Amino acid sequence: MKDWIKKRIMELNANNVIIFPLRDEDVERRRRNAEIDKEFEENTEEEDDARKRE
């Protein structure tokens, strides 16, 4: 392994973070999941508000 790669991995491990470039599919999946989570939270909040009014 090249020295600079090993050094970089050790630096990132010291912070408990390892960063790899994401593929386009991964980015799309994460974006889609974030949108789904946001919609789910909004729907849950609306249901909670409706229950409180009853």
12-46 tens-digit pLDDT = 766 665 567 778 888 889 889 999 998 998 888 87
Residue 42 confidence (pLDDT): 86
Residue 52 confidence (pLDDT): 75
DSSP secondary structure string, 1-54? --HHHHHHHHHHHHTT----PPPHHHHHHHHHHHHHHHHHHHHHHHHHHHHHH-
Residue 53 confidence (pLDDT): 74
CA-based nearest residue to 18, from 30, 9, 6, 5: 9
Domains of the chain by residue range: 3-53
Residue 54 confidence (pLDDT): 67
